[in-house]
Amino acid sequence: MIKAAGAVLWRDADGDVEVAVVHRHRYDDWSLPKGKLDRGETVPACAVREVFEETGYSCVLGRHLKQVSYSVKSVPKTVDYYAAEAVSGSFAANDEVDSLKWLPVADASALLTYEPDREVLAEFTRLPADLLLVLLVRHAKAGKRSEWDDDDDLRPLSDAGWRQATALRSLLPVWSPTRVHTAPRVRCVDTVRAVAEDLSVEMVEEPRLSEEGYWPDPEAGLVRLLEIAADEGRAVVSSQGGVIPSVVRTLAELGGLRLDEIPCKKGSVWVLAFTRPFGAWSTSDSPSRWPTLVSAHYLASALPRP
């Protein structure tokens, strides 16, 4: 299996969206920037690296768009595509790409050589480019509850859990979060502590997103997550396995989003994208004006590919 990743790289052009298409001289084709994973690399990190190497632009990932599958010389290959906003940089011809064009979406689609690339671009245009984003993290592995004699709130991460936390520290910045929220459990806090330190921000404790705080009033927990989503800047939220599936399932149902299953491994991440409310928003408004979940993508592990 060959694994690769790429992106629809976009920018705001006086209120309109333009996307980048690249010409590869080796194949004489127009395509979206993409490339194979390096050893020890995650799929999202690969997408960011390949965009930079092929286009010269640094980018911030948004929602996952789709996975494309095909064969290369009878070897199966998958390419995961993300929306990615260009934040800095400029193009220079390189070993892989000799030309780049910024185009309106319709023009870009007409120029692309391959139908799968056009399908990826069509998925990109299905929703607004600039969405709210919450990175909902299940805490990393902790020691077994049966082997912990103290208050369960204080149960620490295991060695494997600290490795997962280190991997999350490297992975989560590709979405450029600016805030860190956490259920008030040591294992939840320590899972994202280093992320907050790197951002130089204080972690905000969220009692309603712990198991004990959520289940007496699930609606209040959902509203709190929507409040977090609607605040300025993207958010990391660290919570527990007894909360995350219920939150994701309910938000998906409210948004009319079909999810066949809702896994929740320790150290995993749900990348949740929401529409932006129109104008100032508060929980006293009609639910029709609340942020709506429109995309939910699950990353089972932040650990890189061996």
Q: How far apart are the C-alpha atoms of 62 and 30, rounded to whole Å?
A: 23
Q: How far apart are the C-alpha atoms of 74 and 244, rounded to whole Å?
A: 39
- Could you tell me the fold of the domain covering 132-299? Rossmann fold (3.40.50)
SS3 of 43, please?
A: helix
Domain-wise residue ranges, the chain: 2-125, 132-299
Q: Are 263 and 300 in contact (CB under 8 A)?
A: yes
DSSP per-residue codes, 256-277: T---S-----TT-EEEEEEPPP
| Alpha helices (runs of H) in the chain, residue ranges in sequence order | 43-55, 105-111, 115-125, 159-171, 186-199, 211-214, 218-230, 244-255
Q: Are 46 and 280 in contact (CB under 8 A)?
A: no
- Could you tell me the fold of the domain covering 2-125? Nucleoside Triphosphate Pyrophosphohydrolase (3.90.79)
Amino acid symbol at 139? H
Amino acid symbol at 114? Y
Q: Are 285 and 52 in contact (CB under 8 A)?
A: no
132-299 and 2-125 share a CATH fold: no
Q: Residues 6 or more apart from 159 whose CB is under 8 A from it?
A: none
In degrees and rounded to multiples of 5, residue 203 shows phi and psi of: -75, 140
pLDDT in tens, the chain (306 residues): 999 999 999 999 999 999 999 999 999 999 999 999 999 999 999 999 999 999 999 999 999 999 999 988 889 999 999 999 999 999 999 999 999 999 999 999 999 999 999 999 999 999 999 999 999 999 999 977 656 666 666 788 999 999 999 999 999 999 999 999 999 999 999 999 999 999 999 999 999 999 999 999 999 999 999 999 999 899 999 999 999 999 999 999 999 999 999 999 999 999 999 998 766 666 666 666 789 999 999 999 999 877
- CB neighbour class for 53 (10 Å; exposed up to 12, middle 13-18, buried from 19): middle
The sign one gets for the Cα dihedral 247, 251, 257, 258 is positive
